[in-house]
Amino acid sequence: MDPFANPVCVALDTPDPARARALLTTLKAHVGMAKIGMELFYAHGPEGYREVAGAGVPIFLDLKLHDIPNTVAGGIASLMRLEPLPAIVNVHASGGKAMMEAAARAVGGAATRIIAVTLLTSLSQDDAAEIGFDTARSTAEHAAELALLAMASGLDGVVCSPDDVAGIRAACGSQFLTVIPGIRPEGSAAGDQKRIATPQSARAAGADILVIGRPITAAPDPIAAAWGIADSLGF
């Protein structure tokens, strides 16, 4: 399955691999990828990962590695021993160029794409200022700068908010992968996300992959929810 044929990536944010596998099995006809995050991987490790990945859907392994270069390189090397290999893994761009370069080298010749988180979609302009980002510049400007650093470090793309996609696409070009959380169909609750967009507006801005969790997984009918989103995008 081409992981980019359908841009919908369902976020399986549960610590229960059996539940995640069952949900993904029912949704696989309507999504192009699934995200496994810290909640499941920290609870069950490679065994839990294999159970979910066994559903046959490409996996975005969202662990956001962020440490000194040697430690991150070792972590990525360990992830490259998973079977099947994840389609995408990620690090934090704020770890710096040396860390990202070490992560890229650790992927080696594997087909796995490695991307960097710019600014979390749960951070507003005020939140970014609170943790030390330049108050004279917007979150979109900071995100574009981090994306350029990630590209210079040999990474394949970034995770960014819907607000940042257009600027990153302009700065980094059409081949640089953009993975977008904070996607909320019309009428969906924002939850803990602060910078959000509809699937249609994110795609129009240049998003490649849309990470969508609760609007699908917490819907009364997850299959109908996933189908509706994919259909609205022409997939």
- Phi-psi category of 83—alpha, beta or left, where left has phi over 0 and alpha has psi -120 to 50? beta
Asked if residue 8 lies in contact with residue 212, where contact means CB atoms within 8 angstroms, the answer is: yes
For this structure, is 97 an active site residue?
no
Cα separation values, 54 from 21, 90, 96, 182, Å: 8, 21, 34, 27
**From 35, 64, 97, 194, the catalytic residue:** 64
**Amino acid identity, residue 93?**
A
- Angle 128-129-133 from CA coordinates, rounded to 5°: 75
Asked if residue 34 lies in contact with residue 7, where contact means CB atoms within 8 angstroms, the answer is: no
Residues 6+ apart with CB under 8 A from 170: 144
Q: Using DSSP bridges, classify how beta strands 59-65 and 113-117 pair: parallel, antiparallel or unpaired.
A: unpaired
Sign of CA dihedral 11, 39, 178, 157: negative
Asked if residue 116 lies in contact with residue 93, where contact means CB atoms within 8 angstroms, the answer is: yes
Residues belonging to the active site: 64
